Amino acid sequence: MGRPTHELLVERGVASPEAVMRAEAAAEKGGTRLCSELLAAGEATEEALVTVLAERHGWPGVDLSRSEILADALRLVPPRVALADNILPLSTEGGRLHLAVADPDSGNRVLAEVRFVTGMEISPYVAVAGALRKAIVEAYDGLFRDAPAWRGAHATPGCGVAYSAPVELSLPEGDEVIIVVDDDAHGAPPDVIVPEAPGGTAEARADLSGDARRILVVDDEPEIRTLLERALSARGFTVETAPDGEEGLARIASHPPALVLLDAMLPRIHGFEVARRLRADARTRDLPVIMMTAVYRGWRFAQDARDAYGAEDYIEKPFRLDDVVRRIDSVLEATATRGPVKPSGGDLMIRRGKELLLAGRLDAAAAALQEAIAADPFAAEAHHQLAKTLRAQGEHFRAMTSFERAVELRADFFPALRSLAALYAEKGFRRKAVETLERALVAAPDPVARDAVRSDLLDLLEA
């Protein structure tokens, strides 16, 4: 993974060394890309080039020449955005937006923006840049003419999208294929009595009043401050704001809030330095801090923010407002209340869903777990069990989304991390699989689990 493209092209027999040298010279002269020049010169097929690009980047690839893209998918991304960012929506399989990109390594900003605008999880697929550009122009031209679908030169009606072959990785223990038993043979699942009001969460929230609901938002972007102030005020919080680290520290010193929502990149005093000073001062070391960032992305930064700076949570921008509110509530409850939480209706439905899953009654299990999520959208275990159920049903991309949500809600959720890594690998997202296994390595509960994760990592890195 990560070897130069020209080496892989020759080693895999996709193109001769002479053809690669000619294409490299043409690409440098014309400001194009190596694989695009090889394709244009007829030196290699798009399918072979995509296979090499997928190996090079650690992402699955897409052969657009053998793909059919429906108009409904194309409508999700405006043509000007597709042309400007060189991206092409492929399908919405499994409730995710599958997106062709020329270089997934440099497209994180674009992918984040598309996810934010569409509200859908994104699965990127690497494509030959020249073929992608041509497909974008043709596909949207067909959309303007009300064509029901665009097809590549070698595609046939109903063929779907031609993704590259997946990478195999063994399933972690506990996620074996479940034998499906017909739900009708057992009748409807027994009714579950759900309490009218949830227990601990609602009760704890009711106790948080006055200064216990006062939030300080420290962010240098006026739009973010305004957005958070309006959203949090509408949910019963008292909100103060500060535009930089120095003013934030001054406000905390004069009137400590119940919680600080702190941007990592701040003028005058950096956000991480603000967090460090709060932890170093006996008067503020117990003040809950949630950090936000659009720059320091990834689980490693999040873990460092918790370990080195004492942040209770770490939120990446762009964020979902409901998720920010949920995290604030969770931190406030964890730091302000003690004692066991009573089982809620969601807890009972999770238990019921797990029982149905183990019995192989997948439809009933999915229904119970979806009820659990409706009762508590932030229950990581409910999303985890639903993901396992969906995977057993063959709904791999919907399962991927549910696993992702589980580990988003609980960063050290080891079983979900391992299952997600296996699913990423199965679908060809090798780089994401490696990243997720690295997270699982940190979260592993014992030496045996760590050794199993290391073995999976070696399998992927040597593939």
- CB-based contact 100:88 (threshold 8 Å): yes
Once rounded to an integer, what is the mean pLDDT over residues 252-262?
90
The confidence band for 190, taking pLDDT boundaries of 50, 70 and 90, is very low
SS3 state at 77: coil
* pLDDT at residue 168, rounded to an integer: 52
Residue 351: closest CA among 189, 204, 176: 189
Once rounded to an integer, what is the mean pLDDT over residues 37-62?
93
Distance of alpha carbon 263 from alpha carbon 259, whole angstroms:
13
List residues bridging with 262 in a β-sheet: 218, 291
Once rounded to an integer, what is the mean pLDDT over residues 29-55?
94
Residue 369 has pLDDT above 60, yes or no: yes
CA 345 centroid distance within chain: 28
The confidence band for 36, taking pLDDT boundaries of 50, 70 and 90, is very high
pLDDT tens track for 117-170: 787 889 999 999 999 999 999 999 999 999 999 999 999 999 999 997 555 555
Q: Which residue has the higher pLDDT, 355 or 211?
A: 355
**Which range scores top for mean pLDDT: 13-17, 371-375, 443-447?**
13-17
CA atoms within 13 A on the CB side of 44: 31
* pLDDT at residue 376, rounded to an integer: 76
Phi, psi of 165 (to 5 degrees): -65, 140
Once rounded to an integer, what is the mean pLDDT over residues 299-306?
58
Residue 398: C-alpha distances to residues 45, 65, 417, 435 (Å): 32, 26, 16, 20
The confidence band for 314, taking pLDDT boundaries of 50, 70 and 90, is confident
What is the pTM (predicted TM-score) of this model? 0.65
Distance of alpha carbon 288 from alpha carbon 72, whole angstroms:
45
Q: Report the range of poorest mean pLDDT among 30-34, 110-114, 217-221.
A: 110-114
Residue 282: C-alpha distances to residues 57, 97, 290 (Å): 48, 48, 19
**Is the bond leading into 318 cis (omega within 30 degrees of zero)?**
yes
Residue 61: C-alpha distances to residues 126, 161, 163, 211, 434 (Å): 5, 10, 6, 53, 17
AA letter at 156 = T
Q: Which residue has the higher pLDDT, 177 or 47?
A: 47
Residue with tokens 């760590």: 450
- CB-based contact 117:97 (threshold 8 Å): no
Residue 8 has pLDDT above 70, yes or no: yes
Give the tokens for residue 189.
């699942």
The structural domains of the chain, ordered by start, are 5-151 (3.30.300.160), 183-192+343-462 (1.25.40.10), 200-336 (3.40.50.2300)
Residue 285: C-alpha distances to residues 59, 278, 301, 340 (Å): 43, 5, 21, 25
